[in-house]
Structure formats: structure tokens, C-alpha cells
């Protein structure tokens, strides 16, 4: 006999990308930043670990919220810190979705959204994207009609493409809210700074951000949401009192305050992204023009899973992904490789290994 | 127009104890440990902050789970690490409670449970304790009959008393599970080590623990649940992939591995608890015999709120608490002071201040 809620029993749970805990891997599978965090982060942590770890952290994350507010040109009460962007997504779904209510999201995209909705007992539907990763207006508007939340990553994953503001504003459900998951926002050529929130429809949009990617702090778990204060105040009820610990708050504040460090790394990643794209195209991969810290590459003839396994045998991890039910894909299943942008050296070693592998590919 | 779920709009949200972020306070209000964490924790953090903060932490917390398993004499798959005990309580309620299902808990006790159940859309009922903090068997059994979960802190808060195993085993709902919140378990004269989980009814019990109190790590947010592996596996689906960050895992593992440090501090706190109890009784307070790192003190004639305010004016914080609807209390409202056990020096200063305050009390 199970005491679990039926929807908990039924779901599999989300499986994150492989995380080997030993060194020696070239890890291009979970979109981590290959560069270390700002030295100011380490200095802040050095102070914090010698501070008062025996007392509770600031439940409101006051210093962190002020730092974010300065960068995004909003007031601190527009900011909700969280234990990674994952926690903010959970808070959002728990705040707005009663059992049976509808969440829509683009597809192919980040399937964690479906798991989170299933755990809450909501419904989810997919807004199928076209093969060039643009919106089908008819599908989009039909799905949005009954949605309480639309969750849209921009740039999208796995494709890495980014939709313009005009397209984004069309994604606000007529009776609901748009969650703009900007996990990869800082890698775009022209990153957002909450401009949409200050526009006419700003009260209907919630932006989520993470420090895992652009700020090189995946190990720390720090994210934040930005939205109008009424929305933030309601969401705050849903969070644990002390959801962000003293070290994450110290590290996160220092990271946000060192914009120059983040921007320099983002610029390096954009440059490597261009080199990697060229190299992949020279090997007959199709590569979606990326505004993120990864690229989505598909090969016409060589099986993606085989490439993934050959790379893994050489201790290089990329993400082999399969999306079922994609109308325009061969056999209605889209498969491909999502390759995170590493350092130039990692990228060179990856490209060299890939050339060898393709040369030996079964015909 | 609000897009929030009606039950989110309706609730106030839990208000934690005051957390002044500046030093200079004697802080006896949120049951923190007055002693610093083990030096091995700081060493582990020193290594971790120079490690690879740019990559994701181990989603399973393997090293932490092994350390806990050794101390509690279980296998690692009996252990679920969480971002503080709060997160495990949220995971538990989200795992087992569908809208309208019943959670019961003793009263007066930790009212956060009610907030968490409200946020999920469940129902909650109180198992009213008698004035000596013992169970009324009739009330208990009537409430347990329809409960999916019973959540029982042991030692209890605010009273600090601890129920024996015989009493605890009677708290398993006939069609549900018992959650034993042992946040203060290590301060008991004879702490549990998961013995109940290995007994006949062990599959119906989940123990939650925190490192905030006995391990002096309130700033870190690290807790864990212990239960049979089937329960842990289901609960794991509900957690974010990376709910515990790399620094919390490093600190938590080192803390668990230094049992001697924790035990020495717990012993000091027990000794100070005895001294404080004697001092309070000499000032005409009634003090419940405590097995926790705080005491519950009530005064027959001097108003508790006034004492709290006088102490606060001297930069000493204790927790002034009020519990409505307590049948045996004056005006059906129980009020009192919950006083955390500080260092001997803090306790001496607190006692001296309290003597002054009472000497000047309005008659």
C-alpha cells in the first residue's frame, strides 16, 4: 500500500544530466560556465565561513536583493531570491496552479516544467514550435487561451535561439501570467535588463534568473525572480523562511556586484560559441544560431547516440537529447546533441575528438 | 484581479523569529546553538570554496548520506538530504497530502505545520495537549483516525518536553504516516538513533533532523529525513535536483563526521539548561522540564509581553509566544516565554537583566 499522492506515485521524476564528481572529464553536458566565479566571490565566502554560521541567515536576503535591484534598475521589493532557479520555478507553480489548472510551454524545450506541473497536480500542454524554432501562431494562441501560466525559456533550450520582444509579448496568456525563464539571458548579444517588466504588460510577466550559468556558480544554488511587488509578495509566502543560506547570499551578492567579471566571461563564451559553430558546420552538422552558452547540433547521417557514446568513452560529456512527438522530425522524434560552450582548449579537444569519431563513423 | 491560488491569497505566511543582522544582541529567541560549528566544518568549507563552484553539486549528496547512515546505523538509501529541515517538511506534505487530506499535530506546538498544510491546500487539525503536556488519549485517537500524516516534534516546542517511545508509537495514524520532527533530538538526555525505524512499525515513521541546532549550522541550511527506502525514493522525486549546494554538503558532511564536537556542545547546553531552569524557578517562573535547547517559562503575575519588551530594550531577544484556543489556559490563550539556551555568560547576563526587570515590574 502506498501513502503517496497518486500523481507522485505515477511520475518518474526528472533526471538531471550526468554529474561525475571526479575531475578529468571535459564536461559539456549541463551548461556550466567553464570559468571560475569572480575572485570577489571567494573573498566574500572567505569572510562568511569565518562569520556566524551558527545563526540563521537574513530571511529576506536584503543585501542580495539590493544588489540585483541596482543591476536591473528596479526596487528591491521586485526581487525574490531562491535556492537556484529551480526553486523559483517550483514556487511559481505552487503559487499559481491549483489541481487541474493549465501550464503551457514551448516544445521542444526544458521538460523539467512538465515534471514540476505533474508534481503539483496541474495539467500541461505543449506549444509546438516549427522546425526553424519559430512560433506557429495558431497553435500558440489556442494553447494560451486556457492557460494560467506560460513558461518560456529565452534563450530556449535545447535550441539556443532567442525570441524577440515582439514575439515574447504575444506569449502572455489572456487569463494568466508569462514566466520568462532567462537562465541563459546573459549570453545573448543584447541581454534583457527587466525592460519588459516596466512596459504596459509588465504586471503580467515574471522573469527568473540564475547565477549558475553566467556567474559561474552552479555549485552554490542561487537564483532570483523579478516581477511587480504584488506578485513577489505573494510568492514569498510560498518559500521557506530561510530558503537561501548565509554562504549562498554572500557569494551571490558578491557575484552580482562584479558585473565586469561576468560580462568578460560571457564575451569569451560568445566568441568560443562562434568558433564551435563554424567547426561543427564544417563537419556537416546543422547548428541553430545560438544566443546561449550551448549549441544544438544535429547530423544528417551519423547517429547522435553513437557520437555521444564515442565521446563519453573519451571522457567528454555532451547531452544526447530525444524529444518524442515532434511532428516535423523523422519518425516524429527529434534527436540531437546539446553541447555546452567550454573553454577554448576544451572546445579544441572536443572538436579534435569529434573529427576522429566522425572519420570512423559507420556508414 | 489576483492570479494566485485562493489559498495562497488567504494565508498570511509564517513569520519567523526576529533575526537582527548586526551583532551586539543576546539572541535567545530562535534556538540557535551559541557555540561555533566544528573546526572541521571550517576546514571543509575552506577547501570547498576553492573547489569547482562553477559545476553542479552531487544531486544525491552521496558523501553526506553515507556520513549520516554511519551515525544512525542505516543504509545511505534511508537518508534524504534537504535544504534545511523546513524543506523536508515541505517535501513531506507535498508528497503525501492531496487537497482536502488531513494533517494532525499536537497543540500547542510548531505552528509552521499549519502554514505548510494551508499552502498545499490540505486540512489540519490539532491534537490538544493537556496542561502538563501529556496526550489526551481520546482527543489523540479521534484526530488520528482520519489523518494521512501526523507531525509531532519530539522534543516538543515551545514546551521542550519529550515523549517516550511508547507514547510516540501511539501516534501513528491507522491509515497514515507519523513524521517525527527531531530538530531538537540531540539535546535529549538519551537521543534517538533511528531505533524506532528499525522496529515493527518502522515503515510508518519518518524522522526529520536538522544541522541548524545541535551542529551549530543554522546559517547553512542543511537537514535530512530518515525513513525506509521506499518512502525516501518517493520523496526524492519531489525535491529539486540540486536542492543542497556544494558548500552545504561539504559543511554538513564534516559536521556529521565530528560527533564529538556536537556532543560536547550538547552536553554544555544541557548543563546550562539546568542552571537556567533553577534561576528561573527562583524568580517564580514555572518551567517545563526541558529536553531541548530552550525552556518554556511562564510567570503567574508579570505579563510575558512586558518582560519580552523590557528584555528587548536591553538588546536581549527571547521569544514571546501566544497560542489561541488552549482550553486549559487563562482566557483560552496560552502565553509564555521560550528562552533558548545560550552560553553560560549570555545566560548569566540574561538572568541578571531579568532580575532587574522583575524587581521593577508593575504590580
Inter-chain residue contact B95 with A8, CB threshold 8 Å:
yes
CA distance B281 to B114: 32
- A121: which chain B residues are within 8 Å (Cβ-Cβ)? 98-99
Q: Is B57 on the interface with A (CB under 8 A)?
A: yes
**Closest CA relative to residue A5, chosen from B241, B148, B208:** B148
Mean pLDDT, chain B, rounded, equals 95
Q: Is A228 on the interface with B (CB under 8 A)?
A: no
Q: Is A154 on the interface with B (CB under 8 A)?
A: no
Average pLDDT over residues A257-278: 98
Inter-chain residue contact B53 with A41, CB threshold 8 Å:
yes
Phi, psi of A146 (to 5 degrees): -105, 10
- How far CA B25 is from CA of B148, B239, B336, B342, in Å, comes to 42, 36, 21, 12
Task: Please give, one letter per residue, the 3-state secondary structure of chain A.
Answer: CCCCCHHHHHCCCCCCCCCCCCCCCEEECCCCCCCCCCHHHHHHHHHHHCCCCCCCCCCCCHHHHHHHHHHHCCCHHHEEEECCHHHHHHHHHHHHCCCCCEEEEEECCCCHHHHHHHHHCCEEEEEEECCCCCECHHHHHHHHCCCCEEEEECCCCCCCCCCCHHHHHCCCCCCCEEEEECCCHHHCCCCCCCHHHHCCCHHHEEEEEECCCCCCCCCCCCEEEECCHHHHHHHHHHCCCCCCCHHHHHHHHHHHHCHHHHHHHHHHHHHHHHHHHHHHHHCCEEECCCCCCEEEEEECCCCHHHHHHHHHHCCEEEEEEEEECCCCCHHHEEEEEEEECCCHHHHHHHHHHHHHHHHCCCC
Average pLDDT over residues B7-26: 84
What percentage of residues in chain B have a pLDDT greater than 90? 92
pLDDT at A362 over 90: no
* DSSP bridge pairs for A286: A298
Q: What is the pLDDT of residue B361?
A: 86
**How many CB pairs (< 8 A) connect A and B?**
220
H or E stretch including B127?
Answer: strand B123-128
CA distance B145 to A266: 58
- A32: which chain B residues are within 8 Å (Cβ-Cβ)? 54-56
Q: What is the pLDDT of residue A363?
A: 65
- d(CA A362, nearest CA chain B) in Å: 34
Scanning chain B, the segments in alpha helix (DSSP H) are 6-10, 39-49, 62-72, 85-96, 112-120, 137-144, 165-169, 229-238, 246-257, 259-282, 304-313, 344-359
Q: Is A280 on the interface with B (CB under 8 A)?
A: no
- B57: which chain A residues are within 8 Å (Cβ-Cβ)? 19, 218-219, 221
Q: Is A243 on the interface with B (CB under 8 A)?
A: yes
Among the ranges given (A322-331, B5-14, B217-226, B318-327), the one the predictor scored with the smallest mean pLDDT: B5-14
**Closest CA relative to residue A35, chosen from A344, A349, A348:** A344
Angle CA B262–B268–B270, to nearest 5:
100
The predicted-structure confidence for A141-151, as pLDDT tens digits, reads as follows 999 999 999 99
Exposed / middle / buried, residue B249 (Cβ in 10 Å: 0-12, 13-18, 19+): buried
Q: Is A1 on the interface with B (CB under 8 A)?
A: no
In chain B, whose CA is at the least distance from the CA of A232?
A: B4
Joined together, the cell numbers standing for residue A354 give 569529434
User: Which of A242, A249, A251 to probe the B interface (max B CBs under 10 A)?
Assistant: A242
Q: What is the DSSP string of B267-298?
A: HHHHHHHHHHHHHHHHTTEEE---SSSEEEEE
Reduce the DSSP state of residue B95 to 3 states and report it.
Answer: helix
- A246: which chain B residues are within 8 Å (Cβ-Cβ)? 219-220
Q: Is A286 on the interface with B (CB under 8 A)?
A: no
- How far CA A99 is from CA of A113, A114, B4, B40, in Å, comes to 15, 14, 13, 46
* Greatest alpha-carbon span in chain B: 63
Joined together, the cell numbers standing for residue A270 give 560568445
Name the residue facing B245 among A12, A14, A220 (closest C-beta): A220
Average pLDDT over residues A28-52: 97
Among the ranges given (A11-25, B38-52, B61-75, B155-169), the one the predictor scored with the smallest mean pLDDT: A11-25
- B50: which chain A residues are within 8 Å (Cβ-Cβ)? 42
Average pLDDT over residues B93-111: 96
Residue A297's pLDDT band, with cuts at 50, 70 and 90, is very high
Q: Is B49 on the interface with A (CB under 8 A)?
A: yes
State ipTM: 0.95
Q: What is the pLDDT of residue A12?
A: 84
Residue A120's pLDDT band, with cuts at 50, 70 and 90, is very high
Residue B335's pLDDT band, with cuts at 50, 70 and 90, is very high
Q: Is B86 on the interface with A (CB under 8 A)?
A: yes
CA distance A71 to A73: 6
The predicted-structure confidence for B20-55, as pLDDT tens digits, reads as follows 878 889 999 999 999 999 999 999 999 999 999 999
- B236: which chain A residues are within 8 Å (Cβ-Cβ)? 13
Q: Is B2 on the interface with A (CB under 8 A)?
A: yes
Exposed / middle / buried, residue A174 (Cβ in 10 Å: 0-12, 13-18, 19+): exposed
Inter-chain residue contact A243 with B99, CB threshold 8 Å:
no
Inter-chain residue contact A58 with B21, CB threshold 8 Å:
yes
What percentage of residues in chain A have a pLDDT greater than 70? 100
Q: Is A246 on the interface with B (CB under 8 A)?
A: yes
Scanning B126-239, the segments in alpha helix (DSSP H) are 137-144, 165-169, 229-238
Distance of CA A236 to the CA centre of its chain: 21
Asked if B104 and B124 touch (Cβ cutoff 8 Å), the reply is yes
Q: Is A201 on the interface with B (CB under 8 A)?
A: no
Name the residue facing B243 among A35, A83, A247 (closest C-beta): A83
Residue A171's pLDDT band, with cuts at 50, 70 and 90, is very high
CA distance B135 to B144: 12
Asked if B31 and B340 touch (Cβ cutoff 8 Å), the reply is yes
In chain B, whose CA is at the least distance from the CA of A251?
A: B49
Inter-chain residue contact B83 with A240, CB threshold 8 Å:
yes
Inter-chain residue contact B219 with A13, CB threshold 8 Å:
no
- d(CA B134, nearest CA chain A) in Å: 28
Q: What is the pLDDT of residue B154?
A: 97
pLDDT at B204 over 80: yes
pTM of the model: 0.96
The predicted-structure confidence for A326-354, as pLDDT tens digits, reads as follows 999 999 999 999 999 999 999 999 999 99
In chain B, whose CA is at the least distance from the CA of A62?
A: B21
Task: Please give, one letter per residue, the 3-state secondary structure of B292-351.
Answer: CCEEEEEECCCCHHHHHHHHHHCCEEEEEEEEECCCCCHHHEEEEEEEECCCHHHHHHHH
pLDDT at B363 over 80: no
Pairing of strands B294-299, B223-226: unpaired
User: Which of B95, B221, B248, B266 to probe the A interface (max A CBs under 10 A)?
Assistant: B221
Question: What is residue B196's DSSP assignment?
Answer: G
Amino acid at each position: 500500500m502506498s501513502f503517496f499522492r497518486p500523481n507522485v506515485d505515477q511520475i518518474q521524476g526528472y533526471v538531471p544530466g550526468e554529474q561525475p564528481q571526479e575531475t578529468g572529464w571535459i564536461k559539456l553536458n549541463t551548461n556550466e560556465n567553464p570559468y571560475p566565479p569572480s575572485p570577489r566571490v571567494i573573498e566574500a565566502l572567505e569572510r562568511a565561513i569565518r562569520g556566524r554560521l551558527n545563526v540563521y541567515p537574513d530571511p529576506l536576503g536584503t543585501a542580495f536583493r539590493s544588489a540585483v535591484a541596482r543591476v536591473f534598475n528596479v526596487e528591491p521589493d521586485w526581487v525574490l531570491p531562491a535556492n537556484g532557479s529551480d526553486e523559483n520555478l517550483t514556487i511559481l507553480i505552487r503559487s499559481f496552479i491549483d489541481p487541474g489548472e493549465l501550464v503551457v510551454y514551448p516544445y521542444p524545450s526544458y521538460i523539467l516544467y512538465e515534471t514540476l506541473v505533474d508534481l503539483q497536480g496541474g495539467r500541461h500542454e505543449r506549444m509546438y514550435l516549427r522546425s526553424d524554432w519559430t512560433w506557429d501562431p495558431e497553435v500558440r494562441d489556442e494553447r494560451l487561451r486556457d492557460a494560467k501560466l506560460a513558461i518560456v525559456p529565452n534563450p530556449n533550450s535545447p535550441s539556443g535561439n532567442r525570441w524577440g520582444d515582439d514575439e515574447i509579448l504575444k506569449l502572455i496568456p489572456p487569463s494568466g501570467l508569462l514566466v520568462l525563464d532567462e537562465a541563459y539571458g546573459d549570453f545573448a548579444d543584447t541581454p534583457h535588463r527587466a525592460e519588459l517588466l516596466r512596459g504596459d504588460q509588465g504586471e503580467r510577466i515574471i522573469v527568473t534568473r540564475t547565477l549558475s550559468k553566467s556567474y559561474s556558480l552552479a555549485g552554490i544554488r542561487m537564483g532570483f525572480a523579478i516581477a511587480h511587488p504584488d506578485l513577489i509578495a505573494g510568492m514569498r509566502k510560498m518559500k521557506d523562511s530561510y530558503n537561501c543560506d548565509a554562504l549562498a547570499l554572500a557569494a551571490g551578492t558578491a557575484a552580482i556586484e562584479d558585473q565586469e567579471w561576468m560580462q568578460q566571461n560571457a564575451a569569451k563564451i560568445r566568441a568560443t560559441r562562434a568558433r564551435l559553430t563554424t567547426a561543427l558546420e564544417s563537419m556537416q552538422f546543422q547548428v541553430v544560431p545560438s544566443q546561449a552558452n550551448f549549441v544544438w547540433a544535429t547530423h544528417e547521417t551519423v547517429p547522435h547516440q553513437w557520437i555521444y557514446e564515442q565521446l563519453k568513452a573519451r571522457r567528454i560529456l555532451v547531452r544526447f537529447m530525444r524529444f518524442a512527438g515532434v511532428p516535423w522530425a523523422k519518425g516524429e522524434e527529434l534527436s540531437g546533441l546539446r553541447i555546452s560552450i567550454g573553454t577554448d582548449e576544451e572546445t579544441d579537444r572536443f572538436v579534435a575528438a569529434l573529427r576522429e569519431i566522425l572519420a570512423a563513423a559507420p556508414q
